[in-house]
Amino acid sequence: MASKERNTRSVATAGHRSGRAGAVPRTDAGVGASADDAHGPALDRYDVAILAELQRDARLSNAELASRIGLSAAPTWRRVKWLEQQRYITGYHAELDRRRVGLGVLAFVRVDAERNNAAATRALEDAIRALPEVVACHYISGAGTFELQVVVTDLDAYSRWARETLFKLPNVKDIHTSFSLGEVKSAAALPLGHLRPGPATG
């Protein structure tokens, strides 16, 4: 019975992402009900508990997850499917230690764009998305300014990358770089205390 209740979650990708992650397929046997059966439009306390537990450990089996939130296996599975379909859960990922894989430098890079118009902004966004060294990028307040998080092996590698890649992106006017001297907190789970769960259903 336990083998039928256990979710199989693939390791979808390594490290951080710049694009949206796809939902991970599941191989739960014997669960025939649709994910949104008897589920209202709002989150309830079980949904919030599922989100909290999966942020802590996305490799929990369905049986383990059900035990932690106080539901049986079948409704827990349906709730996870509903949360995936509604895009509350967008993917499952392995979190890597960047230093263990040889990426010793984390840089915060502000990129000032040459021309602040829609076409130029889209061109720069597309170019940034294609760079594997950029693990996060935000378009921030200011005149055509992007904030990047970049990981590379060492300072020499960053210098080469900035000269040969970053400055050659379309519409880049200037860059300003700061380097991380130590991580105080990273890869934190999202806070969920602000949610006001509705009545439990299903």
What integer pLDDT is reported at residue 120 of this predicted model? 86
The arithmetic mean of pLDDT across residues 191-199, rounded, is 83
What integer pLDDT is reported at residue 37 of this predicted model? 54
The arithmetic mean of pLDDT across residues 108-117, rounded, is 87
* Domain range summary for the chain, segments of one domain joined by +: 2-85, 105-179
Decide: helix, strand or coil at residue 8.
coil
Q: Which position has the higher pLDDT, 199 or 9? A: 199
Percentage of the chain surpassing pLDDT 70?
Answer: 78
What integer pLDDT is reported at residue 200 of this predicted model? 75
What does the buried/exposed string (b/e) look like for 87-120 if buried means 16 or more CB atoms within 10 Å of the residue's CB? eebeebbeeeebeeeebebbbebebbbeeeeeee
How many whole angstroms separate alpha carbon 186 and alpha carbon 195?
23
The arithmetic mean of pLDDT across residues 90-107, rounded, is 95
The pLDDT of residue 6 is above 50: no
What integer pLDDT is reported at residue 26 of this predicted model? 40
Calculated CA dihedral for residues 7, 11, 17, 21, nearest 10 degrees: -40
List the structure tokens of 70. 């106080």
The 10s digit of each residue's pLDDT in 34-82 is: 444 568 888 999 999 999 999 999 999 999 999 999 999 999 999 999 9
- The highest-level CATH class for domain 105-179 is alpha beta
Decide: helix, strand or coil at residue 166.
helix
CATH entry 3.30.300.30 includes domain 2-85:
no
Q: What is the pTM of this model?
A: 0.73
What integer pLDDT is reported at residue 22 of this predicted model? 37
- Give the residue ranges of DSSP H helices in 17-117: 45-56, 62-69, 73-85
